Amino acid sequence: MAGIHKQSKWTYLLVLILLGIVIIWSIPIFGLLVSSVRPRDEVMSTGWWRALESEEGFTLDNYRQVLGGSDQTFVNASGETVRASGDNLTQAFINSLTVTIPSVIIPILIAAAAAFGFAWLEFPGRKFFFTLVVAILVVPLQIALIPILRDYQTLGLTGSYLGIWLAHTGFGLPLAIYLLYNYISTIPKDIFESAFLDGARPMVVFARLVLPLSVPAIASLAIFQFLWVWNDLLVALVFLGGTNDVAVLTQKLASMVGSRGQDWHLLTAGAFVTMVIPLGVFFSLQRYFVKGLMAGSVKG
C-alpha cells in the first residue's frame, strides 16, 4: 500500500509540473490574442495584462485592417485622424493554403508508396536505395536552392505554384519515407501474404490495406509537413518571389515587421491569423500524433 501511495504522489506531482509548463507556454499565446483585439493606443501605452482595466474595451479593427486590402482610419493619442493602408492578408492566407495543401498531400502519398515498396516488395538494390534516401536527410536543403532555382529558370517554373509544390515535395520526401517505413514495416506480414495469394496486385494492396492501416503515421507526418510548409519563408521567397499576388503569409508578415515595426496591434493580429490554421490542424489530428510518433519504435 505504501508503494502505491508513493507512486500516486509522484503521479500528482508530475501532473502539476506538466500543468505548470502548459500554463507558462500558453501565456505568450494568450497575450498575443489579447493584444490583437485591443485598440492601438491601449497597446502602445499599457501591457496586455491590463486589458480589463481599459475603458475602450476590445475591437476587431486590427483584424479588419490586416485582413482587408482597403485603407483604415483611426484617431491617435493626439486626437489626429490617421489613415493606414490595409495589409490584405486574406490573399496571402489563400496563397498559403494553395501552397501548403498540395505540398502536404503529394509527398505523403509518394512517401507512403515508396515506404511500402521498401518494406514489403522485393526488387534489386532495395537496401541500397533506402540507405541512399536516409543519407539524404543529412544534406541541408539550403545548398540545393540555387541549383534547383537555375533549373526552374530553364524550365519556366519560377514564380509558379507547381514549382514550389515540387520543391516542398523533394525536400520533404526523405524524412517522410523514413518515418512511414518504420510504421509500415511493422504491419503483420500475414495480411500482405493473404492479399497476394488472393491475386491482389501491389497497388491494390497499397490502396486498400496500407493506407487505411497507416492512418496514425500519416496523420503525424501530415502535422510535421503542414507546420513546416506553412511556416516556411525561405523556400517560398526563393521559388515564388515577393510579389503580392503569390506572397504567402510568412512573406507578408516579414514585410509588416519592416514597414510596421511599431504597430504592435497589427503585428499581433497578423501573427494570430497565421496561428489559426496550424492550431486547428494539430488539435484535429492530435489523437493520432503520439501513436504515429511512436510507430515502429518497438517491434514484436
- Any idea what the CATH number is for the domain that residue 244 is in? 1.10.3720.10
The H or E element that residue 99 is part of is helix 89-120
Q: 75-79, 262-266, 269-273, 279-283: which range is least confident on average?
A: 75-79
The grid coordinates listed for 33 are 490574442
User: Percent of the chain beyond pLDDT 70?
Assistant: 85
The span from the first CA to the last CA of the chain, in angstroms, equals 34
109 with 246, same domain?
yes
| pLDDT at res. 168 | 94
What are 74's strand-pairing partners?
A: 82
9 with 57, same domain?
yes
User: To which residue does cell 523556400 refer?
Assistant: 235
81 with 100, same domain?
no
Range of the domain at 199: 90-293
Q: 54-63, 93-102, 284-293: which range is least confident on average?
A: 284-293
Q: Which of 213, 205, 225, 204 is nearest to 186 (CA)?
A: 213
**Cβ–Cβ < 8 Å for 49, 205:** no
Name the domain boundary from 46, 63, 85: 85
11 with 94, same domain?
no
Q: Can you tell me the mean pLDDT for 3-26?
A: 80
Helix, coil or strand: residue 18: helix
The H or E element that residue 72 is part of is strand 72-75
DSSP 77: T
- Please count the structural domains in the chain: 2
74 with 116, same domain?
no
| pLDDT at res. 107 | 94
pLDDT at residue 151 greater than cutoff 60: yes
| pLDDT at res. 100 | 94
270 with 136, same domain?
yes
Q: Which residues contact 115 (CB under 8 A, 6 or more apart)?
A: 177, 180, 181, 183, 184, 185
54 with 68, same domain?
yes
**Cβ–Cβ < 8 Å for 214, 199:** no
190 with 273, same domain?
yes
Query: Within a 13 Å sphere around the CA of 26, how many CA atoms are in the beta-carbon half?
Result: 7
31 with 98, same domain?
no
Query: Within a 13 Å sphere around the CA of 165, how many CA atoms are in the beta-carbon half?
Result: 15
What are 81's strand-pairing partners?
A: 75
pLDDT at residue 5 greater than cutoff 80: no
29 with 171, same domain?
no
Distance, in Å, from the CA atom of 117 to the CA atom of 120, rounded to the nearest integer, reads 6
DSSP 74: E
pLDDT at residue 36 greater than cutoff 70: yes
Name the domain boundary from 85, 113, 135: 85
Q: pTM of the entire structure? A: 0.80
73 with 152, same domain?
no
